[in-house]
Amino acid sequence: MIANFFKKTKPIHAIFIGALFLVYYLMAVLGYKNLNFSFLEVFVQLGILLLFVVIFFLIRFINRKNFLSGLNSYVLLLFAVLFGIFPKTLELQNIFIAHFFLLLFFRRVYSIRTNKNIKQKLFDSGFWIAVASIFYIWCMLFLILVYIAILVNDKKQTRHLIIPLVGFATPYFILLTYYIFTDNFDVFLDYLVFKYSLDFGGYLQLNVLFPAIFLLIISVWGILKVSTNIFSLTNDLKPSWLLIITHFIIALYIAIFAVEKNGSSFIFTFFPIAIIIANYLQILELKISKEIVIYSLLILSISIYFL
């Protein structure tokens, strides 16, 4: 069965996940875009697909390097399925670019648990958050995650509290300098405006509402079940798990206040949700329970086109 198939990591898993993602991508492209299939358009789409390959490599690296889940392929599978469930996240727009830079931030912040190059990791964390926030201002909220990482990993030194802010200020200082020299200071100020919307009409569309509720329920349930296991033991997983939970909450907050409530902002929840559900699958004793979870998500990724 499919849960048993992905409980380990083999090259064939990457092929299967890649093929599944390609199906999702083609469905999204054909369903939401009016393409003229010119040479330029095909070239652009191939470039975007190459970018997704980099994204999946980053996800795999972050997960494996920081032991966020077991040695299986659940995280990559879930990430691919989440893109399928919310096809708007496959569009190359500012929110997508911001998420890409956040992945570079996740790579650094989750590795703060080690004692190697702490200062560089803290600077890089602040730097990549700033770059991401230039494309999507709400990414600034992920600065909270940096300080939670400092707290739970017991790195509470004064210089460690300041370094992320220095890293964060660097891209904005460069941007400010550019706009001052080009006499466009007002444009710079526009980057600092937190635009938000409390009109939830977009989220009430069935193809967004139903999967959002389903994923929220399974994620919260997964957090409760996995937390019971992790916090009952004395191990090194607690700091990383607390980071995942905080990450999930921040991502939900961003999705709530997003201006465009079409599902695209849920891309920020993908990483924590994939890690949470992957860990939940690992502790499920009944194989049939694992199958139900995975097949439910796969069915959901197809059914959204009919809702």
Q: pLDDT tens digits, residue range 28-45?
A: 877 665 556 677 777 878
98 or 32, which is more confident?
A: 98
Q: Between the ranges 124-133, 182-191, 223-232, where is the mean pLDDT highest? A: 124-133
- What's the pLDDT at 11? 82
Statement: residue 267 has pLDDT above 80: yes
Mean pLDDT of 192-210: 90
- What's the pLDDT at 40? 76
Output the average pLDDT for the chain. Answer: 90
Neighbours of 151 (CB within 10 A): 14
Mean pLDDT of 129-158: 92
Mean pLDDT of 79-86: 96
Confidence of residue 255 (pLDDT cuts 50, 70, 90): very high
Mean pLDDT of 300-305: 91
Domain count, the chain: 1
- What's the pLDDT at 6? 84
Cα 28 from Cα 159, distance rounded (Å): 46
Residue 68's domain comprises 2-306
Rg (CA), the chain: 20
Confidence of residue 9 (pLDDT cuts 50, 70, 90): confident
Mean pLDDT of 60-69: 93
271 touches 247 (CB < 8 A): yes
* Residue 70 CA from chain centroid, whole number: 18
DSSP code of 305? Answer: G
Statement: residue 108 has pLDDT above 70: yes
Mean pLDDT of 276-305: 92
For residue 162 the two structure tokens come to 């300041």
- What's the pLDDT at 4? 81
Lookup result for tokens 């469930």: 85
- What's the pLDDT at 37? 65
Cα 113 from Cα 91, distance rounded (Å): 34
Those residues with Cβ within 8 angstroms of residue 273's Cβ, 6 or more apart along the chain or in another chain: 78, 82, 215, 219, 248
- What's the pLDDT at 234? 60
Statement: residue 233 has pLDDT above 90: no
Percent of the chain clearing pLDDT 70 (strictly above): 96
- What's the pLDDT at 35? 59
